[in-house]
């Protein structure tokens, strides 16, 4: 911490807003690491630095790039995503088992539709250009009923403090022909499976091809008043996908061995990640920096960058500490599927 305050060492590129894009593997400027790992916040390697007569300071270890956890879970380009995970309640799981609709809610009881749809509706009201008309169609037509999801289970299971999404996990897979809309800061675009941009007029004429909406809410600089959760205010940005177009769903499932295997895989990734926590360095303002890091782009393929860009909800519950990662693992273990498997192909 002292070394960082004196400008002698930088944190991992994933946590350093001044780091170059597509840059290094995260080596400290104050020396190179001996390659050890950490557990519980105590370093088992790393470099040291003597500051005058002060005690020796242990510098953060660089995050390894080779075999770094979450390498296949980062969310950067929008469009290629096909598989999504959505946590739901026991009540809704029972409704689905009884033949209920996958997309049945227009809002969360007492909490509204969420910022995504509030902002889409606002964009739809300010003009008659294709971007405005498409925003209105998505908010009030194609996605009138929706559920929120993310591309991995672990990164939303904790939610934000005070928000509980449920402990039943749905797996939802889109058809290859589905498009994904991107919406952030008033910018609405649409992308296909290959990340090619679809003209807005084309998307407006074919809204039934849009299978998901990616939304990014950005907190104000310094955490002074952005949004901290899907339905609440605070100072942390977040990302999410909204699903609501059943015509673009290839299949969806609940309590299947496939879902259990995915949860087990995520638990193993998180266990590996626990050994690398020391490479993050200073975490004092981590929650407010994550949205700024997303804006800068994917800086490296190390464990810190992968974790940051696999996240959707960077709340205090996801601050990369040993206690938090242990808690995430415990919740996933307690959320292993139970009951008869349900596997549905719409239209069959």
Q: Which of 218, 250, 282 is the last residue of a domain?
A: 250
pLDDT score recorded for residue 296? 85
Q: Which of 207, 228, 250 is the last residue of a domain?
A: 250
Q: Determine contact, residues 237/294, Cβ cutoff 8 Å.
A: yes
Same domain, residue pair 191 and 56: no
Q: List the domain range (segments joined by +) for residue 313.
A: 2-71+262-334
Same domain, residue pair 127 and 91: yes
pLDDT score recorded for residue 100? 94
Same domain, residue pair 213 and 323: no
Same domain, residue pair 196 and 270: no
Q: Determine contact, residues 294/59, Cβ cutoff 8 Å.
A: no
Q: What span, in angstroms and rounded, lies between the C-alpha atoms of 25 and 124?
A: 43
Same domain, residue pair 168 and 138: yes
pLDDT score recorded for residue 348? 86
Q: Is residue 9 part of a domain?
A: yes
User: Which residue is listed with tokens 């630095």?
Assistant: 49
pLDDT score recorded for residue 111? 57
Angle, vertex CA 150, rays to CA 144 and CA 151, nearest 5: 130
pLDDT score recorded for residue 95? 95
Q: Is residue 343 part of a domain?
A: no
Same domain, residue pair 132 and 209: yes
The one-digit pLDDT tens for each residue of the chain (348 residues) are 222 222 222 334 444 443 333 322 222 223 332 333 333 333 333 333 333 444 444 444 567 788 899 999 999 999 999 999 999 999 999 999 999 999 988 766 555 678 899 999 999 999 999 999 999 999 999 999 999 999 999 999 998 777 778 899 999 999 999 999 999 989 999 999 999 999 999 999 999 999 999 999 875 433 333 443 343 344 568 999 999 999 999 999 999 999 999 999 999 999 999 999 987 778 888 888 888 888 888 878 899 999 999 999 899 999 999 999 999 999 999 999 988 999 999 988
Same domain, residue pair 165 and 52: no
Return the axis-axis angle of helices 286-296 and 303-310, rounded to nearest 10°.
90
Closest to 11 measured CA to CA, from 309, 285, 238: 285
Q: What span, in angstroms and rounded, lies between the C-alpha atoms of 345 and 255?
A: 15
Same domain, residue pair 244 and 98: yes
């Amino acid at each position: 911490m002292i070394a960082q305050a004196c400008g002698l060492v930088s944190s991992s590129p994933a946590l350093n807003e001044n780091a170059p894009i597509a840059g290094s593997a995260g080596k400290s400027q104050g020396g190179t690491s001996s390659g050890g790992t950490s557990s519980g916040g105590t370093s088992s390697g790393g470099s040291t630095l003597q500051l005058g007569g002060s005690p020796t300071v242990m510098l953060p270890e660089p995050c390894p790039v080779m075999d770094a956890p979450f390498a296949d879970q980062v969310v950067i380009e929008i469009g290629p995503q096909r598989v999504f995970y959505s946590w739901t309640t026991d009540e809704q799981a029972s409704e689905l088992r009884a033949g209920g609709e996958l997309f049945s809610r227009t809002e969360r009881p007492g909490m509204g539709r969420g910022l995504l749809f509030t902002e889409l509706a606002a964009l739809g009201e300010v003009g008659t250009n294709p971007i405005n008309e498409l925003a209105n169609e998505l908010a009030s037509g194609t996605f009138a009923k929706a559920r929120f999801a993310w591309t991995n289970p672990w990164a939303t299971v904790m939610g934000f403090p005070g928000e509980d999404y449920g402990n039943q996990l749905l797996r939802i897979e889109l058809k290859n022909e589905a498009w994904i809309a991107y919406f952030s800061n008033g910018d609405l675009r649409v992308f296909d499976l290959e990340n090619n941009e679809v003209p807005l007029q084309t998307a407006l004429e074919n809204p039934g091809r849009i299978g998901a909406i990616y939304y990014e809410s950005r907190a104000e600089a310094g955490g002074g008043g952005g949004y901290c959760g899907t339905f609440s205010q605070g100072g942390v940005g977040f990302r999410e996908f909204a699903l609501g177009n059943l015509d673009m769903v290839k299949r969806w499932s609940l309590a299947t061995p496939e879902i259990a295997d995915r949860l087990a895989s995520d638990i193993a990734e998180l266990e590996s990640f626990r050994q690398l926590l020391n490479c993050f360095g200073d975490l004092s303002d981590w929650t407010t920096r994550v949205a700024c890091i997303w804006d800068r782009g994917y800086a490296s393929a190390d464990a810190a960058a992968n974790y940051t860009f696999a996240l959707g909800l960077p709340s205090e519950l996801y601050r990369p500490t040993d206690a938090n990662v242990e808690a995430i693992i415990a919740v996933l273990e307690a959320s292993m599927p139970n009951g008869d498997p349900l596997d549905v192909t719409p239209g069959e």
